[in-house]
Amino acid sequence: MAGSFSLRHLSTFVFLIIAVINRRRIHLKDWALPLYLMYILVFCICNIINGEYECHSFWQSLFTYHLPCIGLALGLPALLRDLEHVKLFVWALIILYVINSLLSFFQYSNSELAWAIATNISSQAEEGTEAAQMYTEASDNLLGYAIVAGMFGFVVTNGYFLATYLPVITYRINKDGFVNKLIASAFLVFASAAIFITQQRMAFLSLLLYLFFFVWGGIDKKWRIPLIVIVVIGLSYYGLSNIEMGRLTTDTNNDTRMKIFNDFFDFMGKGYWIFGGNETYLKLYHKSQHNAFLGAWVLGGIFNFAVFVILYFKLLRDSLKKIIKLKRKKSNYSFTLSFSFAVIIFLMYSLTHSAGVQSGSPMFWLVYTMMCVSYSLERKVK
């Protein structure tokens, strides 16, 4: 996306214009956006000092990733003025989720048309298309190969999206009534299948934790001990049996992850711990950090890392506080709860992959902004 004027740049420009026009409607009290702006400022200063401001990757990060996040966080609240607007926006996200999942299903079955569509949406999908053609002779589907990219061109991004927006498409689970629970359950089954075929372990873990939370919170206390026993028995059976779940069961080697930590500490030992240097890191080790905290340190050194730690836990606190408060009061803030869970899933996911708040993620700032907007509007209605 860098190097040319893309749809992301256009949408950023539009959102910033909307934010300027509606600046009086923007209230940043208790939001994490000012802290995020401070993080970006420190990131820029540190990269000027370490000399990497001259690298293309620095400007790409700034204008292709961080600036769209700012535009989204400022402009979106000006567009969503009542709960009907929020509901329409949520359904737009649900439609996008369904389309992406269907595309993933067809890619999983080695559909040439599905890969062609993905390639036209994102040039990154070309690599997945080539891999799919290579694997076609070996099997009827792509179980275990972890290349199902959906419309994003990269399977990791697809896993991020499917896991993060899982609470959004199942928002009715937070509403009362049998019909709402039934609709939410249907979407949950659909999303579970889509997440499984990506073969992304963190996406699958996010799904299981999300499921366990709602089952745990939705049953009587006397049934919680039996539930734990059932889970333990199930996990024991899974561990003793040879259930075929593709990469989820076969990829158990953690040597690569350990090497990432070793590379990071080696990099720090070379004197880069003060101001960092991501471009230098990639040239030395040819692999990113796969962890939000390590990534923040490499991107701008210890000062960047310090601001990021505060930002990360501010974001986590904002979402957890809303969930605990609303669940304790048994408030029916379905949109706020859904986006709060989405924020937590993304933050958790970023601990095992390179994409995260530290690198600039519009995918995250959309759910965080929607959480804040939804809470403000649902609180007014209640």
pLDDT in tens, 345-373: 999 999 998 889 999 999 999 999 999 99
Look at residue 248 and tell me if it is in a domain: no
Whether residues 98 and 161 share a domain: the answer is yes
Whether residues 98 and 135 share a domain: the answer is yes
Residue 101 CA to residue 91 CA, distance in Å, equals 15
Whether residues 304 and 376 share a domain: the answer is yes
Whether residues 276 and 337 share a domain: the answer is yes
Token pair 């694997």: residue: 135
pTM of the predicted structure, to 2 decimals: 0.87
Contact in structure between 197 and 132 (CB atoms under 8 Å): no
Whether residues 97 and 200 share a domain: the answer is yes
Residue 292: pLDDT band with limits 50, 70, 90: very high
Look at residue 247 and tell me if it is in a domain: no
State mean pLDDT over 142-161. Answer: 82
Tell me which residue of 95, 37, 39 sits closest to 70, measured CA to CA.
37
Whether residues 264 and 381 share a domain: the answer is yes
Whether residues 99 and 151 share a domain: the answer is yes
Structure tokens at 239: 């561990």
Residue 382 CA to residue 156 CA, distance in Å, equals 39
Look at residue 28 and tell me if it is in a domain: no
Whether residues 166 and 193 share a domain: the answer is yes
Name the residue with higher pLDDT: 296 or 218. Answer: 296
Percentage of residues of the chain with pLDDT beyond 70: 77
Look at residue 75 and tell me if it is in a domain: yes
Contact in structure between 260 and 287 (CB atoms under 8 Å): yes
Residue 274 CA to residue 254 CA, distance in Å, equals 29
Per-residue pLDDT at 3 = 41
Look at residue 2 and tell me if it is in a domain: no
What phi, psi does 353 have (nearest 5°)?
-140, 170
State mean pLDDT over 308-318. Answer: 95
Whether residues 56 and 116 share a domain: the answer is no
Q: Which residues of 164-183 are buried (b: 16+ CB within 10 A; e: fewer)?
A: bbbbbbbbbbbeeeeeebeb
Per-residue pLDDT at 127 = 66
Look at residue 234 and tell me if it is in a domain: no
Cβ atoms within 10 A of the Cβ of 126, count? 13
Which domain covers residue 357, as residue numbers? Answer: 37-79+260-382
Look at residue 287 and tell me if it is in a domain: yes
Q: DSSP letters of 81-124? A: -SHHHHHHHHHHHHHHHHHHHHHHHHHHTT-HHHHHHHHHH-TT
Where is mean pLDDT largest: 29-33, 180-184, 247-251?
A: 180-184
Whether residues 97 and 129 share a domain: the answer is yes
Look at residue 328 and tell me if it is in a domain: yes
- Class of residue 192 by CB neighbours under 10 A (exposed 0-12, middle 13-18, buried 19+): middle
